[in-house]
Amino acid sequence: MSFAPASAWRRFDAWFHAPVPVERLGAFRALVCAVALYDVLLWAGVVLTDAANVSAGTQGRPWAPLYLFQVLGVGPIGVDAARALLAVAILSLVCGALGIASRLSCAVGAIAFYAWTCFGYSFGKPHHDKVALAFALAALPFARVGAAVSLDAVLRRWLRRRRGVPQPEQQLTSGMPIVLTQVTLAIGYCGAGLSKVILGGPEWFNGYTLQGIMLGHDAVWSRAFAQSAFWCQMQSIGVVFVQAAFPLVFVWPRTRWFFLPAALAFHLMTWKTMDTGPFMRVWLMLFAFVPMERIPAALQGWLTGGVVRAAITVLATAGGVALVGAIASEVMPAWLLLATAAWLLFTFVRHVVHARADTGVGGDVIVAEKRPAPLRRLRAE
């Protein structure tokens, strides 16, 4: 075998398995499982209705199985099977989010999530809003996702303490699920942008096209934003630029400061102008680009870095939390959301208390370093 393929594989490994702190991967696991749980609950009404129609033998939405189900020969299920599947999905994803038997619960949760989604989509149309979530969830069991931010880790620490074994200082592990999610998001955005250029052609940018798309999917802001063809033309160019150029986040990490907020703004705007829905399952996955273990330190730095910066930080954080809470409250109980918010606040306070000496590093929070820089930096530290 020649040298080139071996070198290419090594680079491939270095890219996909670049080490990340276990806290980042653990936080990512908790996020992915929580978002998957939200999705399962969001689709519960639809899937259970379809299943009830199957059980009752009444005409409902047409069954058009996804390719996966065609290959596996899976048919529609009745309401009892659907309820059982829902219970398995909820239980496994809750365990996954809390980090109980993390890899096993993530594996079971992934299977249940795929089945749940396939049943939902096989009675209708597949959508793009949880593609990245699906790949993220499927990849979790193949990494050490329970090494931190999990009850598994708490239990391990407790056992070590009890046995008198010293706690490890700083652990690194393969960040493959995070990288796969990043790649999936980049393919998604870039593909969506390029398809508009290739399939839509220059006419996609004439202003009338975006005007038509907005008005065709009537939403609260559609009329306001679709009044002017010229303004729509500008928006078309901006939208396609953000989508098609999104992969720049890999080659020029500082552009994440632009592309991540731009992508979030894009989803929120399409929600309000095209009635796409909040697309929260996509934009929460953008946290894959954020070194989440540094968020408490960054927040601390920004909050102590001047009144204006602190005000912006408070407003942005409160706004973000309120937005996620409002969207999630459609299907999730208020006590669960409040408990999650309290836990996040507790994590932050604990960080402040334990790391008073830590000064503002907020400017670096979103910029992922050139791979495999995390390893180098952490070793230097």
Partner 1 sequence: MDSQSDPVGNHLHASPATPTRGQAPEVDRARYRSRRMEGRLACLLLTVLGSAQEPAFGSVDAVPAPAESIQLGTDLRLELVGGDVLVVRGAERLTVARTAPTGCVHAITRDENGTVFAGAENGLFVLDDRHLVLDPADVRDGVPPGAIRGVFADGKGRLWLCTDTAFAAMDVSFCFGRTFGAVDGVPAPPFRGVCDGGSGRVLLSTAAGVFAYTPDRGECPRARGGVVREELVASTTGTAAVRLGVDALGGATLRQRRRHHHLLEPLNGDTLRGLQPGTHVVEVHAVDRDLRRQLVAEYTVQVPLPLMLAPRVLPAVAAAAALLLFVLAFRTFDPRASLSRRIASSAGRAALLGVVALQLLAACLGYGRAWPFIGFSMYTETYRENSVLYRPHIVALRADGSRCPIDEAGVLQDGSWQMLAETLHGGDRACCEFLDHLDRCCVPGEAPFAGFLVGDGRIRLTADGPVDVAPTILVRWLR
Question: Applying CB under 8 A, which residues contact partner 1?
Answer: 1, 5-6, 9, 12-13, 16, 61-62, 64-68, 70-71, 117-118, 121, 124-126, 128, 130-131, 134-135, 142, 176, 180, 183-184, 187-188, 191-192, 194-196, 199-201, 203-204, 206, 208-209, 211-213, 215-216, 218, 223, 226-229, 274
* C-alpha to C-alpha distance for 102 and 108, rounded to whole angstroms: 10
Taking alpha carbons only, the member of 248, 245, 252, 254 closest to residue 367 is 254
| Count of C-beta atoms within a 10 Å radius of residue 108 | 19
Nearer to partner 1, 98 or 214 (CB): 214
Which residues in 303-341 are b (16+ Cβ under 10 Å) and which e? Answer: beeeeeeeeebeeebeeeeeebeebbeeebeeeebeebe
Nearer to partner 1, 110 or 365 (CB): 110
Closest contact distance (angstroms) between CB of 334 and partner 1 is: 25
Closest contact distance (angstroms) between CB of 216 and partner 1 is: 5
Closest contact distance (angstroms) between CB of 194 and partner 1 is: 8
Closest contact distance (angstroms) between CB of 62 and partner 1 is: 6
Taking alpha carbons only, the member of 128, 168, 151 closest to residue 26 is 151
Tokens representing 251 are: 């080659």
Closest contact distance (angstroms) between CB of 115 and partner 1 is: 12
* C-alpha to C-alpha distance for 109 and 41, rounded to whole angstroms: 13
| Count of C-beta atoms within a 10 Å radius of residue 352 | 16
Closest contact distance (angstroms) between CB of 262 and partner 1 is: 17
Tokens representing 123 are: 């009675």
Question: What is the secondary structure of 212-237 as a DSSP string?
Answer: HHHHHT--TTHHHHTS-HHHHHHHHH
Nearer to partner 1, 133 or 324 (CB): 133
Nearer to partner 1, 153 or 232 (CB): 232
Closest contact distance (angstroms) between CB of 328 and partner 1 is: 22
Nearer to partner 1, 226 or 324 (CB): 226
Nearer to partner 1, 65 or 301 (CB): 65
Closest contact distance (angstroms) between CB of 82 and partner 1 is: 17
Closest contact distance (angstroms) between CB of 92 and partner 1 is: 19
Q: Could you tell me if residue 74 is left (phi over 0), alpha (psi between -120 and 50 degrees) or otherwise beta?
A: beta
- Burial (CB count <10 Å: 0-12, 13-18, 19+), residue 8: exposed
Question: What is the secondary structure of 232-282 as a DSSP string?
Answer: HHHHHHHHHHHHHTTTHHHH-GGGHHHHHHHHHHHHHHHHHHH-----HHH
Nearer to partner 1, 128 or 350 (CB): 128
* C-alpha to C-alpha distance for 39 and 116, rounded to whole angstroms: 10
* C-alpha to C-alpha distance for 317 and 314, rounded to whole angstroms: 5
Nearer to partner 1, 229 or 361 (CB): 229
Q: How many residues does the chain have?
A: 381
Nearer to partner 1, 172 or 299 (CB): 172
